[in-house]
Amino acid sequence: MRYDAAIIGGGANGLTAAAVLTRAGLKVLVIERAARPGGRLVTDEFHTGFAASPFADRLPAIPAEVTAALDLAVPLQTESPPHDICQRRDGALARIFAEAKVPYRHGLLARLRRALMPPLPGPAWPGQDLAARALADWPGLQAWALLGRVTDPALLGSALSLLALAGAAPLRGGLGAVGEAFIAAAASAPFRLGLEASEVVVESGRWGRRAAGVLLADGSRVAADAVISTLDLKRSILALFDWASLPPAMTTSAAHFRMGGGTARLLLALKRPSGLTAPLLLPADGEARAAFRRGAVPHQPSLLIDPVSVRDASLAPAGGAVLTVTMAGIPARLFDGAWTREKRAHLAAAALRRLGTALPGTLAALDGIHVIVPPDIEARLGASEGDLDGGQLFPDQMLAQRPGARTPLAGFYLGGASTAAGPLGTGAAGYAAALSLLADR
Amino acid sequence: MRKYDALVIGADVAGLSAAAILAGAGKRVLVLECEAAPPEPIGPVYALDPVLLSQLRLSARGLRFVSRDLPLSFPEALPGISLGRDGHAASRALSVLGDADAKSWVPFRQEVHALARQLRRWWWSALEEGAADWVLERQAVKARFARLCLTGADAFLAAHFQSDALIAALLFDASAGGFHVSEPGSALALVWRAAQEMAGLEGAAAMPATGTLLWSLIKAAAAADIRCCAKVTGIVTRTGAVTGIRLAAGEEIQAPLILSSLSGGATMALAGAPVTQPQIGEARLLISLREKIAFPPARLILAEQPGIYADAHEAARAGRLAAELPMEMTAAAPDKIAVTLRPVPAFLSQEDRIQLAARAVQLLSRQVPGAAALVSGVRFAVSGTGARATLAHLLAPSVLRVKTNIAGLYLCGADAEPLACLSGRAARIAAGLALRDPALGSEPTE
């Protein structure tokens, strides 16, 4: 059977794309290597009776256009950033979605026309001005913009991470509840679970090469007219293709794309509430930054302590509490080898030391602990170097400088975190990819 | 040109096994699951089908067991009596209860297993329709079966044993499938359990390590499409044959074959038959604890008197919970205890569930002092068996239990077995029949 589109990855982006495409009447297949769809939108029981979302507690807001297209009804507590930031982000998203709706032709005629009449440079991107500003100008938002990211707030351009502010938090059931809403929206798309996509099949046609399907890990082949990859740029380009079948510019730019990474998390199960009611940031010092550059486990990591069970009581049993600790600047690869059990314990101990000083008495109530380091995120989600943003949020890798949904290979679309829409909103990248695919048909 | 050769309702153990076999045979299969993800099974696996295990290569795909070949045990004396495969060891253990019971154990096992050996033909050659005739035409066997068909499980056990505690523990297996333990023919349920014990590769009961059963089945069924949040609201039939299913969203999916892991009653109700509400069910709970506890690797049966089965059965028929319920406890992990309670009403209100959980925790803390303080969560699953287990059902060949009177519609769930069993055997038989179904050959798949 031939599908109209094969979607690699069953996370928020993949599910959004599946929902949009099936609603447009296309035959779609979602390929997910885990046992359940949802991607990072999961809630796990990390200690008996205590649950938390392992990879993040908050999300970038779901764009209004996506909510409307998918009929999502998720009760989210949204701590919206100031109006001007929201406006820039929504403006950038609107521009991405508008461009996605304009058809793009890969044919010879269209290529000739473009060669003769190159498109005029468009107006400046909304939010582009942030590239010249530092995060330090927004002290109130610093904690959230730095969440798990390796950015010096004094650096010019660091303000761009404000566009990717994760301010939406589910009120009940953790991120898994949001995931279920996305799965319900994509209910009419079939999934292949437990199977990894190993290669995108490229066929040569009369007008050039185009993606023609996906090869799965068990050797079977899914024939499709188009392929959307919701993996990050590195995996989409460098892992899914025979390099020789791609235009060299595509592989080179993917190779040069820099991943940020550096997030580690501790999920703590407490026997009694910690007394903390609002998130607490313990910023990094020079030692932590030096350790990151060296590729060593820091002694004083920056911590963002979030009492998630205060907001979402379903995560902890009665009387208990769940704290999550998000650490930034944790090297994905250590200079002296792998993330062994000892190094994880060493990191957890360093974080708990800081936490114990800031919140006296918390350690005595500690019941269970779960440590997540960047390789865990890479192994479970397939995010290169454990980077949930799909790449560093630096001026040369944001907005127009990020890859769009369309690629030089006809029929192959990027709908993952590495695209321009990726960090700006949950499901936005998948939505843009689906719109582009529909426009180009 | 059609999209799918077969549709499977439910992505549980049975549904995924059936999908894996069909997809492995090159058929295009779609599994429809009403939850957002395939649900994690709770509790021990009874007699996991060895053919299925090898055919789907579940061990190579990551299936691991916490404990296998779980003996039946009950806490009459400390540290409890454990009845495993070794008849002499069991007999020694039973000597606490008196010499008579200890002596009766081995003859009882021999009698039950001799009959079970006759039933084996049903397990292995399940695709033959005449298997039952073959068994019943042998005179010696026929006379013994005929006697059991008129005997209640409690009377059968009372004829062998004197101790109430032992009888009560053994009755737990006979009460599976909604049987009343005094009902004529319920004695055959004990034989059926013995047959499961003989045929199941991991013994009568084994506890899979958390998540590995589901994961290995998903890997095995990876070639099948799965749709989540897809609630089936109807099975579309035309002139007595299946043509497809209808989903809650109004969408219709066409296929010549449907395998349902729902109960027979629920499946036929989807096909338009009058809805028969199941009355008797069993409840499965998973109690999570904050700390690891020492729990013997056994199926611990908590039922003090044989009388509580009849009381619980009558209460369940009336739709309420009895004051005392038989229950089985098994360690699912060092800090998780799986509890099965039966018979209970097929539909339990929230208050009933809380009450059941409270009772299970109370009895757990009687076995493991202090466990009540460690409980951090309880997960629940209720299955309604619809009291379908009758004598005729027990003796019917598997083919007839799996088939329905609608062409192309097969039952593959635990309910297609006469006794509650997560074995996947019904799924294997249903998938085997479906592959031979003439409807498959008529039209090529797209």
Kindly provide the ipTM of the predicted complex, given to two decimals.
0.82
User: pLDDT grade, residue A324 (50/70/90)?
Assistant: very high
Q: Which of A26, A32, A36, A175 would you mutate first to test chain B, the one with the most B CBs within 10 A?
A: A36
Q: What does the alpha-carbon distance between residue A303 and residue A352 come to, in Å, rounded to a whole number?
A: 10
Q: From the list B215, B227, B335, which residue is nearest A191 (CB)?
A: B227
Q: From the list B36, B221, B376, which residue is nearest A49 (CB)?
A: B376
Closest residue of A to B26, CA-based? Answer: A220
Which residues 6+ apart lie within 8 Å of A379 measured at CB? none
Q: From the list B36, B219, B377, which residue is nearest A317 (CB)?
A: B377
What residues of chain A have any CB closer than 8 angstroms to a CB in chain B? 1-2, 29, 35-38, 45, 47-50, 179-180, 183-184, 186-195, 216, 218, 220, 317, 320, 367-368
User: pLDDT grade, residue A23 (50/70/90)?
Assistant: very high
Q: What does the alpha-carbon distance between residue B227 and residue B30 come to, in Å, rounded to a whole number?
A: 7
**Contacts of residue B38 in chain A, CB cutoff 8 Å?**
35-36, 193
> Could you tell me if B2 lies within 8 Å of chain A, comparing CB atoms?
no
pLDDT at B133: 54
- Of these ranges, A145-149, A353-357, B363-367, B391-395, the one predicted with the greatest mean pLDDT is A353-357
Cβ <8 Å between A187 and B227: yes
Closest residue of B to A2, CA-based? Answer: B446
Cβ <8 Å between A192 and B335: no
Q: Is the dihedral of CA A210, A212, A216, A221 positive or negative?
A: negative
Q: From the list B225, B290, B335, which residue is nearest A192 (CB)?
A: B225
pLDDT at B136: 55
pLDDT at B424: 77
pLDDT digits 0-9 by tens, A160-186: 888 888 777 888 888 888 999 999 999
- Residue A127 distance to chain B (closest CA, Å): 37
pLDDT digits 0-9 by tens, A33-46: 998 898 899 998 88
- Residue A188 distance to chain B (closest CA, Å): 7
Q: From the list A45, A47, A191, which residue is nearest B228 (CB)?
A: A191
> Residue A437: pLDDT above 90?
yes
Segment A425-441 shows an average pLDDT of: 92
Among candidates A317, A304, A326, which has minimal Cα distance to A368? A317
- Residue A191 distance to chain B (closest CA, Å): 5
Segment A107-128 shows an average pLDDT of: 84
Q: What does the alpha-carbon distance between residue A176 and residue A169 come to, in Å, rounded to a whole number?
A: 11
pLDDT at B217: 92
Cβ <8 Å between B249 and A183: no
pLDDT at B391: 63
**Contacts of residue B215 in chain A, CB cutoff 8 Å?**
35, 194
pLDDT at A118: 82
The 3 state secondary structure assigned to chain B is CECCCEEEECCCHHHHHHHHHHHHCCCCEEEECCCCCCCCCCCCEECCCHHHHHHCCCCCCCCCEEECCCCEEECCCCCCEEECCCHHHHHHHHHHHCHHHHHHHHHHHHHHHHHHHHHHHHHHCCCCCCHHHHHHCCHHHHHHHHHHHCCCHHHHHHHHCCCHHHHHHHHHHHCHHHCCCCCCCCHHHHHHHHHHHHHCCCCCEEEECCCHHHHHHHHHCCCCEEECCCCEEEEEEECCEEEEEEECCCCEEECCEEEECCCHHHHHHHCCCCCCCCCEEEEEEEEEECCCCCCCCCEEEECCCCHHHHHHHHHHHCCCCCCCCCEEEEEEECCEEEEEEEEEECCCCHHHHHHHHHHHHHHHHHHCCCHHHHEEEEEEEEEECCCCCCHHHHHCCHHHHHECCCECEEECCHHHCCCCCCCCHHHHHHHHHHHHCHHHHCCCEC
Q: pLDDT digit of tens for each residue in chain B (446 aa)? A: 468 999 999 998 889 999 999 999 989 999 999 888 888 888 777 777 777 888 889 889 988 888 888 888 888 665 678 888 788 888 888 888 888 888 888 889 888 888 888 766 665 555 454 445 555 556 666 677 778 878 888 899 999 888 888 888 888 888 877 778 888 878 888 887 887 777 665 566 788 888 888 999 999 999 999 999 888 999 998 888 889 999 888 888 999 999 998 888 888 888 888 777 767 888 888 888 888 888 888 888 888 888 888 888 888 888 888 888 888 898 888 888 899 888 888 788 888 888 888 888 988 888 888 888 888 778 887 766 544 556 666 666 677 778 888 888 998 887 777 665 556 778 888 888 888 888 877 555 55
Q: Give the neighbor-by-neighbor strand order of the sheet with B72-74.
A: B81-83, B72-74, B299-302, B327-333, B336-345, B280-289, B375-384
| Residue that wins the pLDDT comparison between B194 and A257 | A257
Looking at chain A, the whole-number percentage of residues with pLDDT higher than 70 is 100
- Residue B264 distance to chain A (closest CA, Å): 26
pLDDT at B387: 46
What is residue A7's three-state secondary structure?
strand
Q: From the list A50, A180, A189, which residue is nearest B36 (CB)?
A: A180
pLDDT digits 0-9 by tens, A180-238: 999 999 988 999 998 899 999 998 877 788 899 999 988 889 999 999 999 999 999 99
Cβ <8 Å between B376 and A50: yes
| Residue that wins the pLDDT comparison between A391 and B382 | A391
Cβ <8 Å between A45 and B230: no
pLDDT at A352: 92
Chain A, chain B: beta-carbon pairs less than 8 Å apart? 92
- Residue B237 distance to chain A (closest CA, Å): 22
Q: From the list B28, B218, B446, which residue is nearest A193 (CB)?
A: B218
> Could you tell me if B358 lies within 8 Å of chain A, comparing CB atoms?
no
